[in-house]
Structure 1
């Protein structure tokens, strides 16, 4: 395919990607940092409560949009589009803060509506940062933490990101202040700069979410109470460990104190911990029903079985007897209910029969 007289062409992006990946092979610590930060922010979304009242209301949209922007930013960086990657980091920061802003009083399903529906009114405009911080600081946890660690200053120091949006001169142009080719290329300085800002953005957003939802700092075996079908906005132990791995130690200590003293956090923790322990049979039945759903709405039993066998051998071979026994039950169910093949084949066969 012939293109207009463009210099920024897709083929050059492939070259930038290859050079970026080569850098990560030589510097795996950078790749590990990006991965750890990404997993930590992915985990924190679980602390935003999902209830019958707010489900599909849009209250979770700001967090999801911020997560999308972080991924887009990473992709742009990998292909050498550094200016645009910083622009996406700015969007991730701003919309990620809205996740806490709109849910600050636990009525995000109502508060978010005008903005979420993009109404053509001033109330629907994305709020300015001074208004956002005024609302954020109305939360006692955020206010006290901000007083000690100056979160607002951390946010203000990221203010330079808007310069990429408005192209404030050569430094914030597509050249990002470097003497380089006039097309997308791998630039180590640009990539290192991106990793630094990516880290600062995620740490700030993580901290704000944990201050609003301190239950995210509590390590507890929730599965012993609710099995694998956990309806509560809590994190598994490995997810808490991910977050603690990247947060400064002083921040961790302060957040743990806040979690111990936060009335709502302690009330929820007490409620869950006072529940009776799940029996092995109850846990097994949960897993069985979840597997049924996976088979019915996906690959069908035959493909599902092979996927599960591969996963079992790789991750938990010690559970072989239990898994094989469950598979035997599932095979009988799938045979009886015509769930052996993928949903597309089943739908096609059904249409032909009809």
Structure 2
């Protein structure tokens, strides 16, 4: 029987400011626990007092308009994932006012096997108007809109984000298990077309991995890192780091900040990846090797600037990436797609 490695603890820092975060933390592109970053948030203080105090505080911001929520039967044991055939998800989506949802969280604490419940990734101004103004974070641009996640003891499958992320635990406890991007081949990605939360998830349950079916996951665990966060703690998750999240208490609240440091207005690289799956993956091996060389040279610039020999006024798409150039490229792509349609 293969013995799985114990994930390494994620490095921790205290007393971080924006300048140090940008110069040291983000520059290193490694996850970091920011202990006590939001210890003074009013909601964090309420959560430390009691679940009832937290719910009472959140209700001072809530409204009667329905919000999106997901619910899974007790049989899924809190793990939002797929049905066995992988053609459907094991939870349902619906809408309800927030206050009854919060009351249900409190009531279900006495239930041995409750329904799994979550309100996920709702912009704070939409879910709790006024919350963001009293719960700020100095490490990101003020224009970044925080998102709120509420629920009971649930588990989110290992996945990645297409942005930088700072996640702040407001209430409850959360365990984060992270894997670097280069472990993608050892995480066994699920379907692209149907996903629990946008990007593909790992098919492996990190709490009960089936190593006969997914043997390479043992290698992924050798590169994993992990941390458990308390109210007021935060975690920086760099771009594309895979992460599994387990909420460990019957009442949990998380506030996260997603942002993209890439130039604004540029096309989504994820779309380019999806197109490449169709355009490149099925080519003969010799052609794929040629296109790999072209991508390395032109896109990833492994040999330096591929247009350094050209005058600036004729570099076109190899020049400065701006919105004018993007529009010219969009026209070119539409013309090309029209010829092949």
- For Structure 1 versus Structure 2, the TM-score category normalised by the shorter chain is under 0.3
Q: Choose 1 or 2 for highest CA Rg.
A: 1
Which structure shows the bigger proportion of residues in strand conformation? Answer: 2
Task: State the structure with bigger RCO (CA 8 A, min sep 6), 1 or 2.
Answer: 2
What's the TM-score once normalised by structure 2's chain length? 0.26
TM-score by length of 1: 0.25
